[in-house]
Amino acid sequence: MSATGTARPRTGRRVLVVLLAVVAVLAAGDGLLWRWTEGELQTAFDDWAAGRRAQGWTVTTGLPWRSGWPLVAQITEPGLAVAARHPDLPGALNWTAERLTLRISLLHPRTLEIAIAGDQHLHINGVADLPFTADRFEAVVPLRPGLPARGGDLEVSQLRAGVAGAGVTLARLHMHGEFRPTAQQGEAWLALTGGFSDLVMPEHAWALGPRIGSAALDVTLTGPLPRAETPLARATAWRDGGGTLAVKRVTFAWGPLDLDGSATLALDEHMQPMGAGSARLTGYAATLDALVAGRMIGARAAIAAKAVLGLMAHTPADGGAPVVEVPLTLQGGALSVGRIPLGRMPELSWPDAAGPVIVPP
């Protein structure tokens, strides 16, 4: 055998050894990065829980487990239970979840994914007592080195809430939120955009029917929103500081009604909502009939509203149902279309530190 023939196998073996060494180093590095990232996730969750306990909350979980190697760092906290009472909450809150999972892809280390799976139960004294589950319940939170998270996206699909026969189902929901706690007067303290599709509610509860086919929302809450001992004190400070809720756009298709509108809302001297806006409506006649049948408005108000809206309506150039564009006002608890009162809104009551509750009119 020639010297050249002998050298080639040796060279091939050397290349193979080098490649295996590189793979081994990469695997070891990936393992170290995976373990470090999972350790950081666990530390972050433990720090959050410790911070909440320092505020008087109760946070408990089962024994966590780790998974996801080699490309995903993931920890799962089973049996999560949170009990809280906080001035910003409208009552004592208790929430349980079967599993909470935190994950970070090693290829996208600045994105935190939070997934909640299995049965959940939310109880807020005087407000809600709701068992629910969903095929998908996930949040995506951008991470910034050295800074707290200030926004994210929520995706929910096939949500089922309540008990059989009196429950709620939701096909899909998407929300994007951005939070700026240092916002000054006129600046956005909280901005929310998103929408949902196919919300089905108990049939007996709503004048316009049990199903909202779709809805979309784009709202901004301006600041500042200062800390205070009670929700009433905080809301008063927010109002006195010029705080507003700007509904840049709201759309929904509910029963006979299709609405596309916008509004700006605030609190009046009696701490009640007030504001003005405009809406583009189709199906208004059938909607008014449904509101009368559901005893939401009086028959006389509906007749007057139909007459005025009929004069304002126009038929689109491409055909279809008549469309009307109307001004809306909310003042002194009365909701009006133009100058025609439709009815009164529920009154906000601010009794104590437990927060606002809704009192029927």
- pLDDT tens sequence across 233-255: 888 888 998 899 999 999 999 99
**Per DSSP, what are the bridge partners of residue 257?**
254
359 pLDDT tier (thresholds 50, 70, 90): very low
pLDDT, residue 2, reads 52
Q: How far is CA 266 from CA 17, 59, 73, 263, 301, in A?
A: 72, 35, 45, 10, 26
Number of neighbours of residue 338 by Cβ within 10 angstroms:
14
* Per-residue model confidence as pLDDT tens digits over 75-108: 999 999 999 876 666 668 899 999 999 999 888 8
Is the pLDDT at 26 greater than 60? The verdict is no
Is the pLDDT at 356 greater than 50? The verdict is no
Residue 19 to residue 25: CA distance in whole angstroms: 10
170 pLDDT tier (thresholds 50, 70, 90): very high
Asked if 59 and 85 touch (Cβ cutoff 8 Å), the reply is no
pLDDT, residue 23, reads 47
Query: In this prediction, what percent of the chain has a pLDDT beyond 70?
Result: 83
- Residue 99 makes CB contacts below 8 A (sequence gap 6+) with 76, 77, 78, 79, 80, 116, 117, 118
Mean pLDDT of the chain: 83
Q: So where are the chain's domains?
A: 1-162, 165-361
